Amino acid sequence: MINLNGKEEVLTLECVFYNDVKNDFIVKSNFATTLLVDEKKLYVYIDRHQTGNYFEYYRKLLTVLEKNKYNLNINVDSFVSKDLSQEDAFHLLATLAFYNNYNDKRLNNKEYQELNFNLVTSYPKAKEVFERLAIINSSVNKVRFLQDLPPNILNSEVLADKVVNELKGHSNLKITVLGKPELQKLGTGLLLSVNAGSNFDPKIVAIEYQGNPDSNEKVALVGKGITFDTGGYSVKLREFMRLMKFDMSGAAVTAGVMNNLATLQPKINVVGILCITDNKIGPLATAPDSIETSYNGLTVEINNTDAEGRLAMADGITYGIRNCNATKVMTVATLTGAIITALGKEITGVFSTCETFYKQFEKASLLSHEKVWRLPFNVTFKEDLEHSQMADITNHNYKNHGGSAVAASFLNFFTEGLPFLHLDIAGTATRNERGTGIMIKTLTELFCL
């Protein structure tokens, strides 16, 4: 449980900076903790010379709280410094408390005790900010639970059902679920091609929130929901197939964002579109060099069945534009391993065709304190996909460069000229083999601007 200036716990987490140490027993190593029982304090030592910004504090203090086994008061104001304002210190420590208060339902017989954190602060806007963070981070933790479920439990049908059951209590959301018969009737040939080897039906779950009925503007947020990705006949090597249960993270994040919008009720129109299937090998599975027709009519030569997320999402984009009247398109997906090579595991890659759209998103990322980095669209990436002798485009190139940009460029073929912003969360969706719910905070802030 997280409290704000509530019932005091026995032990208090407190920051001590390098020039304020008054006890020789405190370990003087950056972000080292020292438990002094007689003072009822758990001190975390911070050397300002080695710490520069919010992100460094977050990364290091996340590890501190993950190792903690105690109920704690957290003295927020003790962390305020020239590097961290009182506002940022409160946002940081409240976010960390919620993240570490994740209801850890592992599938074993061990008992996990929920810890209590009592945030103690004089920050004048603490109550307002706390209530907002509680809503947003509750969705983050629900999405993390979905991410962590194993693929033998969370197949495409179960994921769709769980999302619908979680959101159906919101009267301001309209939820539409399309199964295989409906998708075949629509002609979503790309999504169906990914699903061809599966024994579970594909799903598109469309979640519409209309917060501004006087406006014709609507954002389609399309999430990749591959509940397990073997690579299909372009099968992954053993080391790359592990943790492919997290390939549904984009769809889960989309559902989390829609939950936040239903609760916070900003004046904006958004439709969340979850493109859900697995990518398996079987007698009917799609073979490389197959050609399928997308929902918008483009023919695609599928020369790599392991580039499947972009196929499923392409039909989802078209559904958002043609069936839900979207005027802007966003996609969020664990789309490419190449983004990890480019940006590592702490920064989300962003592509955008619209400067204004990107600037709004960048502002939201600064409010949420989630790291992002913009990468370029370039005509050469588009041209790399136009070399098919038989179809309009291919779904992959084999030049082994620009993999993330090529994938984003593929999606852009289906946006019909609308402003487009794509998030590749392949590196940031997990931490230590657990889900993070990344980008829920930034996307919520974006839609509430």
Active site residues: 236, 310
- For residue 293, the SS3 value is strand
Contact in structure between 415 and 329 (CB atoms under 8 Å) = yes
Nearest-5° Cα angle at 359, 355 to 360: 120
Both tokens of residue 96?
């960390």
CA pair distance 438, 429, nearest whole angstrom = 6
The amino acid at residue 336 is: T
Contact in structure between 165 and 175 (CB atoms under 8 Å) = no
Torsion of CA 110, 113, 114, 120, to 10 degrees: -140
Contact in structure between 23 and 36 (CB atoms under 8 Å) = yes
CA distances from 396 to 286, 302, 336, 410 (A): 15, 8, 11, 8
Any idea which residue has 């719910």 for tokens? 437
CA distances from 145 to 7, 105, 162, 194, 396 (A): 28, 8, 11, 25, 32
CA pair distance 403, 351, nearest whole angstrom = 13
CA pair distance 435, 143, nearest whole angstrom = 8
CA pair distance 240, 186, nearest whole angstrom = 33
CA distances from 70 to 42, 58, 284 (A): 10, 19, 53
